[in-house]
Structure 1
Amino acid sequence: MTVRYSPSVYMQTHALYLLILIVNVLVCHSKIVRTNNGPIVGQDRGNYETFFGIPYALVDEENPFGRSLPHPDFTTPFNATDSSVKCPQLVPTESGILQCLRLNIYVPKSTNKNIPVFVYIHGGGFIFGSAGEYDAKHLVQHEIVVVTINYRMGPYGFFCLNTDTVPGNQGLKDQVTALRWIKRNIAAFGGDPDKVTIAGESYGGGSVDLHLYSENEKLFDKAIIQSGGADAEALIVEPNNNAAYTLAKTFDPTVKIQDALSLLAKQDPIEVMKAFRSSGMLLRACEERKQPNKKIEYFFTANSKALHCPLKVSGTHIMIGYTSKETFADFFKLANEAYGRDFFLEKIKNNFRLDEKTTKEAVQSVKSFYLGNKNISKDVMLELIDFTSDFMVNYPAERSVNRFLEQGAMVYKYLFSYIGNSPYKNIEGVGAHHTEELQYLFDWQTAGELRGEDNILMRDRMTKMWANFVKFGNPTLNESDLITVRWQQTSQNTKPYLDIDLQMKMKEKVYQNRMEFWNTFWRKYGKSRMPYPSEPARV
């Protein structure tokens, strides 16, 4: 009997053999790591390996705004090669999928085991950003395991409805879930589950600060907070119990309040994010209200809001700092639009509950301190940058430093001043703007390729200091040609800090006069500060 193959059968068979060959090549040339959740296949990058897009949990598609579900164990090797997965977002482009709870792991090729672990939480105002934007190929060269994580944002991560299904802070709870996955599985990649440093910039740094006071267990031993903190403007906002109903009405004006969540769960996530943007609502971290007799895992409650937890903070090594001109880039993006606004009135009115007379008094005191008798105009751009930087980032970070010291932390403080690769470096009065330091830690997508001897030196210096901190809790163990100064711990009296520039220097009391002004301001008006700002934080 003659067996005849049709062309279609032949093509299907050939394709199957090709697929098997590709899988075999991947397995043969990549390491299979056997985790507690099953086997994972990574990619060989020469002197390090990567494991991209590992799912650490599932979004419950019936309630994508609430608690995540455990991801099923892998029964066949999971091909961890995709770092592009993002949670739904609109900036810089409309992108993202609902099942976005992924993490990326960078592992040095080493015979050593129990290597310290660096976990990075991206910023983006809790509305944009992803783990895949932060390529850690330079950090991993310093004998540390690096993990970057996704978490839900916007309404998916920060509805605060004070219900048992959506109590609030789900994006922060996603971070906790990722840290638990790391605790359970990182040893399989050579990492030490007991030596985990959590780090983040901007709202990622604010997240790190909140983890030090959260209701859950401590899943890390060190922390790095870059240009952020718990007191940063609008990191924590008033719970909005009607937020889901407000958004649902944009899809169906007749929807009943009890059906809002189920209606939203059926919508395209990008359309939900568009409706959220159009609504003008501010969804960020919030104070969750504890509900008796409910089995709910809380992250941030009234107890947390005291920002007092010596059991977590005491003895913890914390690196914290900010850039020298945080809002510099914002003023150039705003151009002339910036000078038709009274930033002083906006910030005081939106953040302090004062009567009209006291508001005028407070605004005038701030305006006089920064501008003297000058009016708001382009001529006082640098003074406006100092004010907005101090109000939004610098002074909140100093408040975090004070809390850490009072609760027994070991604090290393810095100011990042280097502008060697800044697009504004030839402008008079320029300083390092918000996010400026990230290009020297990561192969960061938004910065482009680093060139030039000084820029490469700064990258080597930054990655070395950050890795030293992850490994030893001290960013500068020994002076060398690369690190030319010993970074001293901060104390309450002199507040020493490292000025990170080509010429590294230890200095004392950063922006002393400006910080003392805000100390005085807060003593006078701080009791009238709104628990949460009434408007979005913006320059």
Structure 2
Amino acid sequence: MFWWLVLVIATAECSLVKIEQGLVQGIPAEDGEYTMFMGIPYAKVDMENPFGSVATTRYDLISAPDQKLPLKLAEYFGHNFNNVDEAVYFLSKKEPKEIIEANAALSEPSLVCFEDSSRMQSFITSPLNHGNDKIKTTPIISGYNNNEVLLSHIHKTTEDFQNNNVFYEKLKEFNFPNLDKLVKIMRRYYIGDEKMTRKVRWEIIDFDSDLSYAYPVQRSIDKFLEYSESILFHYIFSYNGNRNFVKSRANITEGGATHADDLGYLFDMVFFDSNPFGDDKLVLERMTTMWTNFAKYGDPTPTTSELLPVRWRAAQRDALHCLQIDSTLSSCKRPNHRPHALWDLFYKLLQ
């Protein structure tokens, strides 16, 4: 989670603009040069990708590095180079903020990648499974929300589902040789022989959530437990309340928690009631207490109490303990093990 961004948003002053339809709430940008608005009349969200390119767990963000990007950035500043090394040297003299602004202007998002070790000195030298002393001794909280991709599919009509084969569109990125067979297997697992209609939207949400968030988190946890000597606390957040960060702003009341909904119970935000009550208050107090305990003691529940009646047990290789966070707290082991076992087999086929 990009919690630092949420903190910036939460502490910013609120501004309101009166329009024909009513008041639109705005928040000053971090640099103070403009105002960001929480809602624009008649604006539409791309329901296939409502969060843009922020979610780093998405498989469709992985792409070949653009070897010409330094040349493009240098050209943006008015200098033409034929040699990448010369362009990189030129860019190294620029302020980081200038590079970021130029990169954004060119709409050329770039991520860290492994370089060809035979041609140049490596910056990243060892993945997790090669061992890292710092990683091995760092406690971790890792989890996800139970309806992560709800926003992408909840408003779709039967026509939307029929015009877009979600299973095919999501799985084709893996370049699997027998794609049609794979699509058929996944479709049967999640919706059986049902037709692609609005009736199966919750099953589609489960499929997309498993693919994009739940299983990647689970796979990362398994790797961590295999190679780390530290402790990990696993959770699933499923509470549906008035402070759900994304759903509340999208006016969605059905279902559990979608991506980033848990942030409303960890941070104070200007667009939420500063005096929560009922289950909202209870969930907020539990979340903030557990996360504070983890920061202080490395354990979210060092002791049980009236507020925290359930001990959050650390995950183990042979017993993946998990805390389910709803209006009540409950413990389980190896959550969603059936679909995750299917995805285990899927990834083995790719190896």
Q: 2:169 aligned to 341, 346, 366, which one?
A: 346
Equivalent residue of 1:510, what SS? Answer: coil
In the TM superposition, residue 285 of structure 1 has moved relative to its aligned partner by 2.9
Q: 2:350: which partner in 1? A: 526
Take 1:275 and 1:293, find their aligned partners in 2: how far apart are those partners?
27
Q: 2:268 aligned to 411, 418, 443, which one?
A: 443
Q: Equivalent residues in 2 for 1:67-82 (5 A)? A: none
- Shift in CA distance, 354/248, structure 1 to aligned 2, threshold 3 Å: farther
Take 1:395 and 1:448, find their aligned partners in 2: how far apart are those partners?
34
Q: Which has the higher contact order (CA 8 A, sep 6+)?
A: 2
Decide whether the 8 Å contact of 2:154 with 2:201 is kept in 1: no
Decide whether the 8 Å contact of 2:76 with 2:102 is kept in 1: no
Take 2:120 and 2:165, find their aligned partners in 1: how far apart are those partners?
48
1:283 aligns with 2:283: no
Decide whether the 8 Å contact of 1:236 with 1:285 is kept in 2: no
Q: 1:467: which partner in 2? A: 292
Equivalent residue of 2:180, what SS? Answer: helix
**CA root-mean-square deviation:** 3.7
Take 2:103 and 2:252, find their aligned partners in 1: how far apart are those partners?
39
1:480 aligns with 2:305: yes
Q: Equivalent residues in 2 for 1:172-211 (5 A)? A: none
Take 1:311 and 1:130, find their aligned partners in 2: how far apart are those partners?
30
Take 2:330 and 2:2, find their aligned partners in 1: how far apart are those partners?
28
Decide whether the 8 Å contact of 2:103 with 2:109 is kept in 1: no
User: Structure 1 or 2: larger strand share?
Assistant: 1
1:367 aligns with 2:187: yes
Alignment deviations for residues 32-62 of structure 1 (CA, whole Å, 9 cap, x no partner) = xxxxxxxxxxxxxxxxxxxxxxxxxxxxxxx
Take 2:115 and 2:298, find their aligned partners in 1: how far apart are those partners?
33
- Shift in CA distance, 205/248, structure 1 to aligned 2, threshold 3 Å: closer
Take 1:459 and 1:349, find their aligned partners in 2: how far apart are those partners?
40
Equivalent residue of 2:65, what SS? Answer: coil
Decide whether the 8 Å contact of 1:122 with 1:203 is kept in 2: no
Equivalent residue of 1:238, what SS? Answer: coil
Paired residues, number: 299
In the TM superposition, residue 426 of structure 1 has moved relative to its aligned partner by 3.8
Q: 1:454: which partner in 2? A: 279
Alignment deviations for residues 324-378 of structure 1 (CA, whole Å, 9 cap, x no partner) = 100112224667785232222222221x2333xx111222211221121123332
Take 1:248 and 1:496, find their aligned partners in 2: how far apart are those partners?
51
Equivalent residue of 1:480, what SS? Answer: coil
1:400 aligns with 2:276: no
Decide whether the 8 Å contact of 1:468 with 1:475 is kept in 2: yes
1:493 aligns with 2:315: no
Alignment deviations for residues 292-346 of structure 1 (CA, whole Å, 9 cap, x no partner) = 786x8x3x35x32x64425233343211100010011222466778523222222
In the TM superposition, residue 389 of structure 1 has moved relative to its aligned partner by 0.6
Equivalent residue of 1:444, what SS? Answer: coil
What is the TM-score with the length of structure 1 in the denominator? 0.49
Amino acid at match of 1:341: N
Q: 2:236: which partner in 1? A: 415
In the TM superposition, residue 275 of structure 1 has moved relative to its aligned partner by 2.8
Q: 2:133: which partner in 1? A: 311
Take 2:144 and 2:294, find their aligned partners in 1: how far apart are those partners?
17
Equivalent residue of 1:497, what SS? Answer: strand
Alignment deviations for residues 365-400 of structure 1 (CA, whole Å, 9 cap, x no partner) = 112211211233322111111111111111011111
Amino acid at match of 1:312: K
Take 2:256 and 2:323, find their aligned partners in 1: how far apart are those partners?
16
In the TM superposition, residue 492 of structure 1 has moved relative to its aligned partner by 2.5
Equivalent residue of 2:143, what SS? Answer: strand
Q: 2:42: which partner in 1? A: none
Take 2:114 and 2:271, find their aligned partners in 1: how far apart are those partners?
33
Q: 2:153: which partner in 1? A: 331
Q: 2:35: which partner in 1? A: none
In the TM superposition, residue 504 of structure 1 has moved relative to its aligned partner by 0.5
Q: Percent of counterpart pairs with the same letter? A: 26
Gaps of 5+ in 2: 13-29, 31-51
What is the TM-score with the length of structure 2 in the denominator? 0.72
Decide whether the 8 Å contact of 1:121 with 1:131 is kept in 2: no
Equivalent residue of 1:489, what SS? Answer: coil
Decide whether the 8 Å contact of 1:234 with 1:284 is kept in 2: no
Q: 1:505: which partner in 2? A: 330
Decide whether the 8 Å contact of 2:74 with 2:81 is kept in 1: no
In the TM superposition, residue 435 of structure 1 has moved relative to its aligned partner by 0.3
Q: Equivalent residues in 2 for 1:96-245 (5 A)? A: 121-122=2-3, 129=5, 132-133=8-9, 135=11, 232-234=58-60, 236-245=62-71
Instruction: Mark the structure with the bigger radius of gyration.
Output: 1
Alignment deviations for residues 477-508 of structure 1 (CA, whole Å, 9 cap, x no partner) = 11112112111111223322000111100012
- Shift in CA distance, 447/398, structure 1 to aligned 2, threshold 3 Å: farther
